[in-house]
Structure 1
Amino acid sequence: MENLYKFGEFNFSAVEDKLSSSNDIFWETKKLTEIKSVQFSVAENLGDFNGNESLCSNFGFFQDYPSHEDEFLLSTDQQKYQDYETFDNLQFDMVNFDEQLCPTKVLPLCDIENDRQFYQTPLAPVEILKNYGKGFKKLLLPDEGKILHPVNDFGLVTNNQNERKLSTADIMKVAGTRFIQSSSESASSGLILNHPFGFSFSGLSDGEKEDVSLAESLLACAEKVGYQQFERARFFLPQIESLSSKTGNPVKRVVHYFAEALRQRIDRETGRVSVKNMQKAESLFNPEEDTKDLNPTLLAFIEDLPFCKISMFTCVQALIENVKDAKKIHVIDLEIRKGLQWTILMQALQSRSECPLELLKITGIASGNIDTSKQIVEETGKRLKDFAKSLNVPFSFEIVVVSDLLHLREDHFKIDSEETIAVYSQYALRNKIQQSDQLETIMRVIRTINPIVMVVIEIEANHNSKSFVTRFIEALFYFSAFFDCIEDCMKGDEENRMILESKYFGHGIRNTVAEEGVERKSRNVKIDVWRAFFSRFGMVETKLSMMCLYQAELVAKRFACGNSCTFDINGECLVIGWKGTPINSVSVWKFI
């Protein structure tokens, strides 16, 4: 026990590069059979929730395996709340630490001073592409048997009888394969003969061939940037920019923004644009601050794309199960924003009969500008209080606002000894990877409070590597999946789609590709890295219940595009993906 909590040096970038890459060459599909199969639904015990009812009218949370009587449905004439009415009506199918053992020294999680560009040795980009395997493993949910099976991605897209269209990520895979074939000295080894596409474009439509060629050019440009051959990289850009478009198909759209980011990086590295001017331009939009409040584009993102709702519903189900015997429940939200998930929780708790609720307390944490942050959180609290009153749910709301999370302390929280405490973190930790001292402070305070459970939603991507090419390729596949999802779930000319892609995703791409050091704030890491970090605080991962998995499946089915959502079990957590590419992770943690 004495060694358990001794903190050694922890570097997010180093751990991410070590843990988050697969050793599988991505065309060696035999290894896919090693993925853990998961029973995802027990149809005979769960009742019929597979109809076509709307998302807002057929959900419930479960303490045990449900029957028809276990659906917790609200009447349709409940009070509605302006822009949030679709979210307010979301309904479901329903050890203390010894501080002396823990050194107080704050250790860096992301060493900005030493976060220098790691330039590639010859053929390194090829090896990175070959090792990008995890995102190509996919679990599908067949209609019969309700078992998640590993499948061969390329088998899905190359079967002419199925006439299956290549996804945006599939286009990138084919382009990556062709890039490897044309670049790698290992071509003579015969490895390429094992790949279903080989050197030809066999089986691809004319449009897909054009998209593959465009993506190949983008990869070639990125490779030159990785070698610091900026003028040679610049040679590719005019053609890439002329063939890509922010209003084209998903491939052309995502390539447009990555080409834009590459040009920005080249201009920065060659001095055509000063770092100061670039920073000034990027500072005009701060996504971390912007997403603290809701606007029509963010509302459309939550409403039209499945990932947020799937993650929220799954986490609330996990909370319900861990506080099922508690009469007083206190949830600490690390980044409350508008608290949409708490209207969901209230509706679930309202129908709990075995253990009547005496109090639900939500404490929202906010940091930054005290006046602005406090106003946003107060508005959230007022709305949640009104909603709780409409449901006759005993409710209280507390606010903890600090200018800097380094100032966060245990005595900021009003804690009753009779309360059962849980912690909820939705994309809250990723923003603090760069501020490692703040992240350490958050975790130490949480550890001291000793909640019964902590549920975490994070982005499942490696955007924190010191290697430019590694970041570029990881980001390319991640955003390709998102652009593909938007194509399926939103209209092509929809204003919110254009804003989402250009303002939010465009900023994320530029920040990941073009920026370095303190300016590079988009530093997502995968679940393996979070496991290594959480273990330092005596946290152990808890297996998600069958009901949590079922809840995820159930929410996905309520989206027209939900069949393209894929689910994988990584350790004990759930990875939510789009056509096999990981997007979010949902994990549950307890303190030992």
Structure 2
Amino acid sequence: MFDENPTRMVPLSEETIANDKQQNSSTPLASLELLKSYGSNKGFKKLCDEEKIMQPIDHSAAGNEVLGRKLSTDDVMRIAGTRFIQSSPSSPKSLGSSALKSIFSHPFGQFFSGLSDEEKEEVQLAESLLACAEKVGFKQFGRAGKLLSQCESSSSKTGSPVKRVVHYFAEALRLRIDLETGRISSKDLKKMQPMDPREITKNLTPSVLAFYEAAPFCQITMFTLVQSIIENVTEAKKIHVIDFEIRKGVQWTTLMQSLVSRNRCPLELLKITAVGSGSNSKLIIEDTGKRLKDFAISLKINLCYDYVIVPDMLQLREDLFKIDPEETIVVYSQYALGSKIQQPDQLETIMRVVKTIRPTVLAITEIEASHNSTSFVNRFIEALFYFSALFDCLENCMKHDEPNRLVFESQYLDYGIKNILAAEGAERNARNVRIDVWRAFFSRFGLVEAEISMLSLFQAELVAKRFPCGSSCTFDWDGNSLLLGWKGTPLNSISVWKFL
């Protein structure tokens, strides 16, 4: 488990859980510097379009406008957050007067009067959700319950993106109240959420596939990382790719197409080793291998496909990999490392093995969000803006009445929201962290952040433009890492690493 302090990694223990509970009972939502930062710093940066590498979509012809564009779901939450802070009393446990002054001077605080009736209703609904979360943070469950009833009656999983966000967050707050008051137990929670959807998505369901096809994020991260890999293996005749989350392996068909067209330094061998754990991994990995072999034959590429499957990653060893000294080794991880944050011993094992193998480059993409704070309040705010951007994306990229959208939101996003907000300790496995935390963690193993080239950035922008909703994708730099976002809210980090 990663601490909020990015320089160390804290093993999950009863002491950690006890600290969790202690912080949750003492931190009020009204004192959120984090909420202030979303209302001012991030909100202001989001409105300064010239700072973005790729411009947000222009909605000037549709609906009410704020500084020339329609309110996004995140905008509604930012306005609600600003108004919520303004209405909070100044006390030792709330924002000080200087902080309030900076909020009052922010443009978001002046927007409300110019909104449509529908947008005002949504802002007020979001304010009620924030007030409810504050009461939950204070453990004032009776008062929270009344606010929650208001949120539940005014929201819907089939309504606007704002109303859908409030619906699922209200359900998560209700679940947290039930857990804290003893109405249900952690065992009941496990029965309600029997399987982590991240495990299910390894074998693509129709709703997940529909999301991947409609939303640009997966393809942008994949093509950008593959381009970075190609740039680091230009002189290699034998390439060995180790993939920690291969899924359908589409990324390697892209790599093969690029390698086969390479005139300089013809490829002699491409080896792909898929790494997996658990009982379900083998069938998925073998099926992917068959399709990749067929594709390689069609391109006349000499492909060697292998896999390493262990009961859990604690049993991963470097001698399980068939390494040839003449190979140029690449490690690829798409969300695989982040899924192990709640199991730090397994994550440490993976990194020690990778360090022993010493690949030429590591290509990594992870969720760019801070969902691992010990503070319930901080997790709530971070999750609210992250999922607001996702729901806004789904509304823009998929039809409103698309059944797969409803399934994706009600199964996968609902699970993430409830797990982040309601679960604690070992049951809380959605523990995403930002790139600065990964940067500090990787440095312990002698890894340094390599530059992502402008050609890779161009590839990312090119892929985004292929999607009807792609103009709403935004790109920012954090160090040498590329942050992929939706209308200014970061959702994914794309990074490349090398050993010193």
TM over 0.5: yes
Are 2:217 and 1:315 aligned? no
| Secondary structure of the corresponding residue to residue 465 of structure 1 | coil
Are 2:142 and 1:236 aligned? no
The residue type paired with residue 4 of structure 2 is A
| Secondary structure of the corresponding residue to residue 198 of structure 1 | helix
- Aligned pairs for 1:506-517 (under 5 A) are 506-517=414-425
How far does residue 138 in structure 1 lie from its aligned partner after superposition? 3.9
| Secondary structure of the corresponding residue to residue 236 of structure 2 | coil
- Aligned pairs for 1:272-283 (under 5 A) are 272-283=183-194
Are 2:69 and 1:164 aligned? yes
| Secondary structure of the corresponding residue to residue 400 of structure 2 | coil
Structure 1: distance between partners of 2:276 and 2:228: 24
| Partner residue, 1:330 | 240
Are 2:395 and 1:487 aligned? yes
The residue type paired with residue 183 of structure 1 is S
How far does residue 123 in structure 1 lie from its aligned partner after superposition? 6.1
Are 2:159 and 1:254 aligned? no
- Aligned pairs for 1:44-83 (under 5 A) are none
How far does residue 131 in structure 1 lie from its aligned partner after superposition? 2.9
Q: Could you tell me which of 256, 269, 276 is aligned with 1:359?
A: 269
The structure-2 alpha-carbon separation of the partners of 1:163 and 1:191, relative to structure 1 and needing over 3 Å to count, comes to closer
Q: Could you tell me which of 13, 19, 37 is aligned with 1:131?
A: 37
Q: Could you tell me which of 69, 82, 86 is aligned with 1:181?
A: 86
How far does residue 108 in structure 1 lie from its aligned partner after superposition? 4.1
Structure 2: distance between partners of 1:270 and 1:487: 35
Q: Could you tell me which of 296, 299, 309 is aligned with 1:401?
A: 309
Contact 2:35 2:81 in 1 (8 A): yes
How far does residue 526 in structure 1 lie from its aligned partner after superposition? 0.2
| Partner residue, 1:15 | 5
- Aligned pairs for 1:555-574 (under 5 A) are 555-574=463-482
| Partner residue, 1:421 | 329
Structure 1: distance between partners of 2:141 and 2:339: 31
Structure 1: distance between partners of 2:448 and 2:291: 35
Structure 1: distance between partners of 2:438 and 2:53: 25
| Partner residue, 2:93 | none
| Partner residue, 1:526 | 434
| Partner residue, 2:409 | 501
- Aligned pairs for 1:195-214 (under 5 A) are 195-198=106-109, 201-214=112-125
The residue type paired with residue 71 of structure 2 is L
| Partner residue, 2:289 | 381
Q: Could you tell me which of 246, 252, 273 is aligned with 1:342?
A: 252
Task: Report how many aligned residue pairs link the two structures.
Answer: 485
The structure-2 alpha-carbon separation of the partners of 1:484 and 1:391, relative to structure 1 and needing over 3 Å to count, comes to same
Are 2:491 and 1:588 aligned? no
How far does residue 274 in structure 1 lie from its aligned partner after superposition? 2.4
Contact 1:140 1:148 in 2 (8 A): no
Structure 2: distance between partners of 1:125 and 1:222: 12
How far does residue 288 in structure 1 lie from its aligned partner after superposition? 2.6
Structure 1: distance between partners of 2:390 and 2:166: 13
* Higher mean C-alpha displacement, 128-137 vs 454-463: 128-137
How far does residue 495 in structure 1 lie from its aligned partner after superposition? 1.1
| Secondary structure of the corresponding residue to residue 114 of structure 1 | helix
Structure 2: distance between partners of 1:420 and 1:511: 40
The structure-2 alpha-carbon separation of the partners of 1:277 and 1:192, relative to structure 1 and needing over 3 Å to count, comes to closer
The residue type paired with residue 381 of structure 2 is I
Structure 2: distance between partners of 1:12 and 1:476: 20
Structure 1: distance between partners of 2:66 and 2:161: 24
| Partner residue, 1:114 | 16
| Secondary structure of the corresponding residue to residue 463 of structure 1 | coil
How far does residue 548 in structure 1 lie from its aligned partner after superposition? 0.7
Structure 1: distance between partners of 2:288 and 2:70: 43
The structure-2 alpha-carbon separation of the partners of 1:427 and 1:541, relative to structure 1 and needing over 3 Å to count, comes to same
Contact 1:565 1:577 in 2 (8 A): yes
Structure 1: distance between partners of 2:173 and 2:66: 39
How far does residue 256 in structure 1 lie from its aligned partner after superposition? 0.3
| Secondary structure of the corresponding residue to residue 222 of structure 2 | helix
How far does residue 126 in structure 1 lie from its aligned partner after superposition? 3.2
How far does residue 289 in structure 1 lie from its aligned partner after superposition? 1.8
The structure-2 alpha-carbon separation of the partners of 1:160 and 1:299, relative to structure 1 and needing over 3 Å to count, comes to closer
The structure-2 alpha-carbon separation of the partners of 1:586 and 1:140, relative to structure 1 and needing over 3 Å to count, comes to farther
| Secondary structure of the corresponding residue to residue 471 of structure 1 | helix
The residue type paired with residue 569 of structure 1 is W
- TM-score, with normalisation over the residues of structure 2? 0.92
What's the CA shift string for 1:167-220, capped at 9, x where partnerless? 000000000000000004146964444122437722111111000000000000
Structure 2: distance between partners of 1:273 and 1:562: 43
What's the CA shift string for 1:357-377, capped at 9, x where partnerless? 1011100000012xx311111
- Aligned pairs for 1:431-470 (under 5 A) are 431-470=339-378
The structure-2 alpha-carbon separation of the partners of 1:257 and 1:161, relative to structure 1 and needing over 3 Å to count, comes to closer
Structure with bigger helix share is 2
Are 2:133 and 1:222 aligned? yes
Contact 2:484 2:493 in 1 (8 A): yes
What's the CA shift string for 1:509-557, capped at 9, x where partnerless? 0000111011100000000000010000000000111111111111111
The structure-2 alpha-carbon separation of the partners of 1:388 and 1:221, relative to structure 1 and needing over 3 Å to count, comes to same
Structure 2: distance between partners of 1:407 and 1:140: 49
What's the CA shift string for 1:454-483, capped at 9, x where partnerless? 010000000000000000000000000000
How far does residue 295 in structure 1 lie from its aligned partner after superposition? 1.6
